[in-house]
Structures are given as structure tokens and as C-alpha cells.
Structure 1
Amino acid sequence: MKSTAYENAAFDYIVVGAGSAGCVLANRLSEDPGIKVLLLEAGGSDWNPWLHVPVGYFRTMHNPSTDWCYLTDPDRGINDRRLQWPRGKVLGGSSALNGLLYIRGQREDYDDWARAGNSGWDYESVLPYFKKSECQSRGENAYHGVDGPLHVSDLRLKREIADRFIEAAKTVGIPQNDDVNGARQEGVGYFQQTAHKGLRCSAAKAFLKPALNRPNLTLIKRAHCLRLLLEEKSVVGVEYEENGRVHQALTRLEVILSSGAIGSPQILQCSGIGNPEHLQRVGLPCRHELPGVGENLQDHLQVRLVFKTRCRTLNDEVRHPLRKLAVGAQYLFSRTGPLTLAASQVCIFTQSREGLERPDIQFHMQPLSADKPAEGVHPFSAFTSSVCQLRPHSRGYVRVTSLDPKKYPSIQPNYLSAEEDCRVVVNAIKVARKIAAAKPLAEVITEEYIPGEAYASDRELLEAARQYSQSIYHPAGTCKMGHDDLAVVDDELRVHGLKGLRVVDASIMPTIVSGNTNAPTIMIAEKAADLIKAAQAQQARAS
């Protein structure tokens, strides 16, 4: 039980993190004017204009003013390379600097969660929450909503090379699918994006900004959560740092961690919640034993194939200063053109080999190519065909390494550590090459630039994957939902064994969804808000 002092706390709920999930929670929980909500965000305001221009992720990723700029540990599976893992450190979190791609995953993803004992997380149960958040530009149907604050729209940029890519995929037997978030996911088509009238629609813009004028919602920016305040087996508040000063905020009902797959386990561990052996090695006293905190890390690893072409691509449109000026003017006056580019144009969901019942690989096709986006595009015409395994078997971890809660944790993805993942990635490269060899795409390809035709055998293709792969920035699973020994939260997202604490973000995914993770994270927060409200109502009836 919480002490009387905490019953007089200023806030009913404290939400830690104003990212994709936190913005949703702040909006939905503060809809009741009698409920007081505190939202803490370690980053600042989303004032930077590049946060609102769709292609602005080229400027905001790897920028310490908007990005946590995480870096993984050296990983044996990718030749001891370290990968950059951008995570939003700004209002809207990663939804403010991601690639804007709107993908929900597969029906089976959620049905698998439910079959594992997580009641209420099957596809039919979560579909209403996807629809609730959505304002779909194509209109309402059985799979899409139009009354939500999150705008989802078609791309404003299409190019010949993308059309050729779609036709080539169809030539090799991949069906056309104009709605991979509808009745079925398998197929090829153009992505949709979280944008409206040529501007990014982040979670901050969709959910938080409309709620900020409510007197019962308090937002504190640049407030870095250091640890949770525990009283026996109850969480009663948080300790945070703002402008160099340490403060405490107390809650009458709950603290809700929405700091993402890296931040949420780090805060738990810094609070003494986690694996006792690991905490003791760091010098942290164990306040509550939960071995699964920070474990079960999953991510989508992509292999990026680059093909030179004899036809023009976006490389040609944005390479020279005068053309950049023309592109800027086009966007300024019409909100169209290359500056509306999402992270990819064309998506494919398909099988890496025959005999599979559902897609296990995803393509992101970009009508441009670059070694690193911040360094500019290649000085030749080319496009990128990126392919990733949707449901990797490899598991990594996030673990604190210091008593200092502001020091970054160890991030070890353990990419390609499972044999099945190695088989899938080799087959995925073969599928990419099969598409590239099909008409009408093959007619304009002059060379496979990366990884190159020198990589031919299965062993060589696996080596190419180890050397040329990159993250798509979808970390998940580090506070998994479930009822096994590694589960951190139950199916109402309450932390096992503690009162007054939930985790609501991508870290609760038992297994990563088959696709991009932003839309599912928003869905998780929508459902969590209803779970929290129901628990509050039940408590009120019992008192």
C-alpha cells in the first residue's frame, strides 16, 4: 500500500517519455478533466523545421539535439561492427525523426501474442485500436478509420524506377497489394506514410499538441528520468533531473514508462529492478527481481543492395546545388517533390523460400542510393533494394554498465546469431537479385554496385550480409509481455510483482511485429490507455 504522503501527490499518473506511446497516453488519460497527468520528456520541443519536413530525417537522425545517438556494442554477427541506433530525443520521440512508414504487421503476430497467454492482444482485439488512432486519407473501411488524429496518406512522390521495381516483383510472382495493412499483407505496392498535406504527422503533432491546453496535463521538457521511487513493492513516483537540478514527482495511482526499448529497461535497472546478478556486478542493489528486464532484444536487420541504372533516379535530382534549390522551391510552393520522400517508396512482403505460409521478409525500395544519408547521394544513377527478415530468432540485450543513470547502456543485438536467421538472409539476397533480373527492371540496371556479383555462393552471401547490413531501427522486446520467467509485464502491461507501475512502448512486444514498429507502438498505447482507465474505474467502484 502507498503511504498517506503519496495519496496527497500532485499527479494521478506520471508518464515518462513523450514519444510515440507517451504522447498517446498523455492525450487519452487527460481526456478526463478530473485526472492529473504529468508527462516528462528528456528532449526538447520539436521546433526544428526539419522535424516537420518528411525527408528531414536526413538532418535529424544522428543529430544530438534531436537524437539520443545510441551506438551498439561490437557484434560478432556483423563482423564486430557497431551500428548507429537513432532514437528520438524530442517531443514525439522516434515518430518525429523516423521514416514515416505506416505498417501494422501481420494478423498472426498478434494472434501469436494471445496464444502465448496474453489475453486481449489477438488481432481482432487490437484492430479497433489501430482504427481509433487513424485518419486514413483513402477513407473508412473494415480495416481503417478516419476519426483519429494520426494522418495516414499516400506518397506524394513517385518515380519511374519505383514503377519498374513493382512490375519486376509482379513478374517473379509477387502479387500487387495496394493495402498491406488490410485483409492481407503479402504483396508489392507503394508505402503509405504518416503525413498530412506534405508535412510529417508525428505523435506529438497528432496526440500531444491538441491536449497541451488542458489544465490537468503538465509537460516538463528536458526532464531526464533518473530512477523510480519505490516504497516496498509499490512505485510511488520518479526522480528526474531538469536544468541540473534533481526533483521528485509523486503519483497517487501509477507511473507509466514509455521511454522505448532502450530507455524503459535502463530506467528499471537503474531503479534496482532486474536481474540480481547483473545489477550486483554494476553495484546496484536489487530492489525487485525481474530477470527479463533488458533481455529479449529484437531488431530488423536489413541488407541493402544498390544497383546502378541507366535511367535517372533521385540521385540525379538532388546531387547538384541548383537542382537542390529547385527541389526546395517545389516543396515550398506545392508541398510536393523529393522533400516529401518517406524512408522508402515501395514495400514488398514475401517469402524467402517456397513452402512458407506467411511472408518472412520485407523490402524497402528507395529511388536513390548513398553510403550514409548525411554524406549525400552517390554521384551516379542508382536505387536501393533493402531486404530484412521480419521475425528474427536472434536475441540480444540492453544492460546498464554504470551507477550513473545518464550513462548509455550496453546494447548488444546479437545479429545473425541464430542459424535460421543466417539461412533467411542468404535467401533474401537471392530474392532481391531475382527481382533485379526481371523485366522491366533488368532493362535499366547496369551493375550491382553493393554488394557486387563477386559475392555468389551461400557462404559469400552470408559474408555480404555480415559486412553490408544495417539496422532499420526497430528495437523491441526488452520488457516483454507474458507470464514466463523472462516476462516483465502482464497482459495489462503492469510490471510483475510491483504496484503502481506499467510499461507501455515497443519494449513490451513478446516477439517483434512483422514490419515497421511505429504504428504498432501507437496501437499499444491506445489499448493501454483503455486498460488504465478500466482499472481506475474498477478501483473507484471498490473504494
Structure 2
Amino acid sequence: MKTSFDYIIIGAGSAGCVLADKLSADGRHSVLLLESGPSDDRFWIRAPIGYGMSFYDRNVNWRFSTMPEPGLDGRKIYWPRGRVLGGSSSINALVYHRGVAADYDDWAAAGNPGWDYQSVKPVFDAFEQMVDAKDKVKNADGKLTVSDPSSSLHPMKDDFFAMCEQSQTPFDRTPSQSGEGISSYLITTRNGKRCSSAVAFLHPALKRKNLTVMTNIDAERILFQGKRASAVLCRYKGAQITFSANREIILSAGAVKSPQLLQVSGIGPGKVLRAAGVTVKIDHPHVGMNMQDHLGINYYFKANKPTLNNVLGRWSGRIMAGIKYVLRRSGPLSLSVNQIGGLVKTDPSLAVADAQIYANPVSYQIKFHNERPLLKPDAFPGFILGFNSCRPASTGTITITSEKASTPPHILGNYMTHQKDIDDVVKMARFIAKLQNTPAIQQILSAAPNTPLDAMSDDDIITDFKERCGTIFHPSCTCRMGTSIENSVVNSDLKVHDVDGLRVVDASVFPNITSANINAPTIMVAHKAAESILAETS
């Protein structure tokens, strides 16, 4: 077995698959891609609606959980993260959204030149292959297929757009991959199948002789020669094996595993490392700190007209949907459950959107230890209106408690510990109340809303939110980029401060969380990183 490579990438997720493709493309460099999970060749990964089946599947999912959250009355929050080729892009809800320009302008303003929106926009434009509702392709050379499913959405979309018009909420029936307004959500599908980062970038590269991909292999720690990252110690088929890197080791293991691997390797806050029994190589205070995530809630409604519950909630409906999917790659199994939504301002005077809205023609109530998949929604016709704050102020931590990478780290979201986030919940709940009070929504209700927002005080709204909220699955910023070790983990080239031969390339490097879903910006980050890496070899 070959054990020496130019580049070693740890993690075959949204970013790692891009890096494996880009760094191996010209054949000059040998590349090793390590993935803890299995192949993505599974029906419920390829079928878009299958993410409901992957939500608790330990075979492809890390199934993390936070510590008791002080801001949520001690509740633990379930954190699904992908452990499979494609990472979380193989098990997510497929929504594709860049966020708003201000997200990236803030990255640049934090001391990271080249990360403003005008600089990153051409990167997005290059890898996105946009397919509109009539199957017309824009940028055929783009590898990531992003589809407009608006022509296939449930008829309830018309009620949701009428809701927007009546509430004077900006909307457009033609979706966009960035900016503000309600529309149908773009999704990462190709011909009715999930187009994960693995499908888009890794699979076409697998035939290259200079790319080696290993699955079901666990990186245990990074080894150093002085301050240079030189090798990765792994466990494979029950035995330890060491792979050496001639040029660089790149951590693309995600916002949980990347900081964890740095910490077990001796790079992290000294106090945390010593408490876990790890020898401190570099006291790196921000590794695992500054975690940001989107926290949201759903409000449930019973409808007097058919919703997706009427299809997916019955054996006959599921069978017909399955046949339609197998024969034509169409129907509800080819879509995301998130059909309508986008970024809005709860107050028109705001400079940028502060809330992300979801309007889904299905209702389901997922709770930890209740493994009810999306293919078994509520027994009655129902739908959901939900929200999350775009830019939360509370920050959390990822910290090890053991020198072993196999021991899950402590995850503390610190959700709702900043007053801004508490205030945002009230504003956004009041915004949902405005939406549900429109004639468009009132006329399709068969019962009063499950949560009577109009009759609730601010304290009632906050109490309800704390009892029922959950992550929107966007952890980021735990190895954020910045100007020095005093304020960040990596520099604007994503090199770890005060370490040679080591970069972090995934959502953990975000200086601040973007306003919408994070898969799009994570893939963009990987493309920019690859350009930077290759520029140093020319």
C-alpha cells in the first residue's frame, strides 16, 4: 500500500470532494482522500427525499448531540452530520442558497482580503450548472447541478405566494441562488437524483491514477516534525497506519471534526488540551471556539385541502410516488421537503434580511429518539411555516474530553445566550403571525393554528421556542479565518496560524455564518482554497 502522497485531505465532504478533484486534475500531484464513512452508493442517498431516512442512520451519520444547553433550559440538541462520501451534502435537505453579498463583505472586513462578494461571485458562477424549470441549462461546464424545481412543486405553492403578496413580503416565482425574497428553493439535484459534492466533483475524478480514495478509515491525529504537519495517523481495518504528506495536509472534516482533530493533535486551547490529557504543541486559543449555527422552529397547521401528507402519509401514495420516481425520476421523492422560502426582513428598515423562512406543504414532527422518517408525515393534511435567524449572535464551542479522536467532543451551542437572539425570536414569530393571518392562509386552515401566536405574549413565544427549537444543521466558524492566532485559527489562505503544511478547508473557516444554507458557501470555499494551493505549486 502506498503511504506517501503530495496532499492528504481528511474528510470527503462538501469541501473535501472539491479539493480531491481540483488538486488531482492536472496529474502532477498525488492526492489521498480519507473518509471515515462508507461509499455514497445507496438508494436513500441518491433519492432526494431519502434524507429523512438518513437523519438517524448511524451508517452514514455521526449522530452528534450537544451538551445540555443553558439557553434552552438544559435541552440537548441533536446534530446530524454526514459520515459518508459527500459528507453532509449526501444527507442534507438539498437547499442551495449563497446567502447575501453582505455575508462575504463581512468576511473581507474581518481582515480577509479576496473574500468579499465581488471576489467570490465568479467562483460560484464557474462551478454552478443551473437548470431552470424547463430543463434549460446555463453554464454546462459547471460541475454542480443546481435545479429549479418550481414546475414540479405541490400546488400549495400558489397559496404560499398569495400569502407573500397579501403580507407585502417580497417574492419571485423564479428562484435565485442568492439575495433576498421568497421563492421556490433551488436544490442540488440532477435528473431527479441528489447531486452531492461527491457526485458533482469526486465521482468524475475517481478514474485518475494520481487520486487515491479510502473509505471507512479514521484519522486519529496529525503528526508533526517540529511545527510542520508531516503525516496522518489513521486506523484502518483495526490496525494503525501512517500516511506522510510531501506538501500539505488539509483538514476538511467539518465544523465538528476539524477542530477536534486539531485539538487531539496538540493544536488548540492549552487548558482544554491539558484537561483531555493531550500534550500542547501550540496553544491555539480559537480552535473549536466561535461556533455559530442557525436555530429554528416550525409552526404546524392543519389544512382543509390535500397536502403532501395525503401522498406520503399513505401506503398507496408512497407506492405510487415510488413508482413515479423509479420510472421517471420525478414526483415528491425527487424533491426536497423544503419547497418555498427565502430570506426576508422582519422590519423594512433593516439593511439586510434577518430571517430565513420555510413554507412546506407537509407536516411532520421529528424528535430525538423518535425515528419517524419524512415518508410517514402527520396523518392529517398539514403544512409548516417556520423560521430561523440569519445571523445569530450566540457562539458555542467544540472541545475534546479525550486524546482519542473516536471519542465525541463536547458540543455546546450556547444557543439563545445573547439578548439579540432572544429579541430576534420574538420579531420572527410575530412575522410568522402576520403570514398566517393573511386570507390566503386563513382560508386553507381546517383548525386554529397549533401555536396561537396572536394570543401569546413575548415571554410565551420565547418559552415555546426554547422548548421546541432545533438546529437548522449549519454549524460553522470553529476554525475561523482572520489575521492572527489572537483572533482566529487560519489566515485568509486557510493556513493554520503558526503551523506549516496544514490548512483547514470547510465551513469551520467561515469568519461568520452566512445568512442562508451553508452548502453553497462551503463548496465555494473549497474552490478558492484549491486555487490558492495550486498557485503555490506553479
- Which TM-score bucket, shorter chain as reference? over 0.9
Deviation, 1:179, is: 5.7
Matches within 5 A, 1:244-393: 244-372=238-366, 373-374=372-373, 376-393=376-393
**Contact 1:27–1:208 (Cα < 8 Å) also in 2:** yes
Separation (CA, whole Å) in 1 of partners of 2:447 and 2:499: 58
Separation (CA, whole Å) in 2 of partners of 1:92 and 1:343: 20
Partner of 1:48: 42
Deviation, 1:337, is: 1.3
Matches within 5 A, 1:6-155: 10-138=4-132, 145-155=139-149
Verify: 1:171 aligned to 2:172, yes or no: no
Separation (CA, whole Å) in 2 of partners of 1:432 and 1:532: 45
Deviation, 1:241, is: 0.6
Deviation, 1:449, is: 4.5
Separation (CA, whole Å) in 2 of partners of 1:486 and 1:246: 35
Verify: 1:446 aligned to 2:453, yes or no: no
Give the letter aligned to residue 471 of structure 1: T
Decide which of 230, 239, 246 is 1:236's aligned counterpart.
Answer: 230
Deviation, 1:447, is: 3.4
Partner of 2:494: 493
Moved more, 84-93 or 73-82: 73-82
Change (3 A) 1:9 1:402: closer
Give the letter aligned to residue 339 of structure 2: Q
Separation (CA, whole Å) in 2 of partners of 1:196 and 1:128: 22
Structure 2 alignment gaps of length 5 or more: 367-371
Deviation, 1:171, is: 1.4
Superposed CA deviations along residues 425-473 of structure 1, whole A, max 9, x for unmatched, are 1110111111111122221123354434586101111111111111110
Change (3 A) 1:180 1:112: farther
Verify: 1:214 aligned to 2:208, yes or no: yes
Deviation, 1:410, is: 0.4
Deviation, 1:154, is: 1.3
Partner of 2:524: 523
Give the letter aligned to residue 490 of structure 2: V
- Equivalent residue of 1:193, what SS? coil
Deviation, 1:146, is: 3.6
TM-score scaled by structure 2? 0.95
Partner of 1:200: 194
Partner of 1:466: 466
Superposed CA deviations along residues 223-282 of structure 1, whole A, max 9, x for unmatched, are 110000111110001111111111100011100000000010000000010000111111
**Contact 2:296–2:386 (Cα < 8 Å) also in 1:** yes
- Equivalent residue of 2:229, what SS? strand
Corresponding pairs, count: 525
**Contact 1:179–1:185 (Cα < 8 Å) also in 2:** no
- Equivalent residue of 2:94, what SS? coil
Separation (CA, whole Å) in 1 of partners of 2:41 and 2:354: 39
Partner of 2:154: 159
Partner of 1:429: 429
Deviation, 1:350, is: 0.9
Give the letter aligned to residue 99 of structure 1: A
Partner of 1:540: none
Deviation, 1:47, is: 1.9
Superposed CA deviations along residues 277-310 of structure 1, whole A, max 9, x for unmatched, are 1111111110112100000001000111111111
**Contact 2:44–2:54 (Cα < 8 Å) also in 1:** yes
Separation (CA, whole Å) in 1 of partners of 2:532 and 2:175: 28
**Contact 2:98–2:520 (Cα < 8 Å) also in 1:** yes
Separation (CA, whole Å) in 2 of partners of 1:195 and 1:264: 27
Partner of 1:190: 184
Change (3 A) 1:460 1:200: same
**Contact 1:451–1:468 (Cα < 8 Å) also in 2:** no
- Equivalent residue of 2:398, what SS? strand
**Contact 1:165–1:435 (Cα < 8 Å) also in 2:** no
Change (3 A) 1:535 1:178: farther
Deviation, 1:483, is: 1.6
Give the letter aligned to residue 284 of structure 1: V
Matches within 5 A, 1:413-424: 413-424=413-424
Partner of 1:402: 402
Separation (CA, whole Å) in 2 of partners of 1:494 and 1:125: 19
**Contact 1:136–1:145 (Cα < 8 Å) also in 2:** yes
TM-score scaled by structure 1? 0.94
**Contact 1:19–1:91 (Cα < 8 Å) also in 2:** yes
Change (3 A) 1:128 1:403: same
